[in-house]
Amino acid sequence: MSWATDDGKHEGAALAMFADGALGGTYGPNKKVEVSEYADGTRAAYQADVRSEDDVVGWLGWCSCGWRSPRSFTRGARPRARGPREQDGPRGLAVPAQMGRGRSPR
């Protein structure tokens, strides 16, 4: 997801953050993220460093003018199913076993 101002002076997005401080902005097939910038500020060459989406530790707001959000959003823990009324759902999140079957469990 990205955004741009009407005057075209600013264009931004939420960049994926990796544990080593690298930032990625382009998501590709097979859960891959292309690194665009390293922690030291150097730019990565086009498709030179492609990593698994599973290695993303959070997201950071970014703008083409050089602004970086002072606040990042970290990926939370992925809880697994804990009981007979729960099952693994998307991304390993626990969801009610009856979800999608017309009624939720009571």
Model confidence pLDDT, tens digit, residues 20-47: 999 998 777 788 999 989 999 899 998 8
Instruction: List C-alpha distances in Å: 43 to 34, 48, 54, 80, 81.
Output: 11, 10, 22, 37, 40
The C-alpha atoms of residue 90 and residue 76 are separated, in whole angstroms, by 14
Q: What pTM, to 2 d.p., does this model score?
A: 0.62
Residue 17, judged by CB atoms within 10 A of its CB (0-12, 13-18, 19+), counts as: buried
Please give the average per-residue pLDDT across 64-82, as a whole number.
73
Model confidence pLDDT, tens digit, residues 74-103: 887 555 445 554 444 444 444 444 433 333
The C-alpha atoms of residue 19 and residue 56 are separated, in whole angstroms, by 7
- 90 domain residue, yes or no: no
Residue ranges making up the domain that contains 29: 2-74
Per-residue confidence (pLDDT) for residue 8, from 0 to 100 = 86
Per-residue confidence (pLDDT) for residue 77, from 0 to 100 = 56
Per-residue confidence (pLDDT) for residue 49, from 0 to 100 = 93
- 51 domain residue, yes or no: yes
- 46 domain residue, yes or no: yes
**Structural domain total, the chain:** 1
- 83 domain residue, yes or no: no
- 8 domain residue, yes or no: yes
- 103 domain residue, yes or no: no
The C-alpha atoms of residue 39 and residue 19 are separated, in whole angstroms, by 10
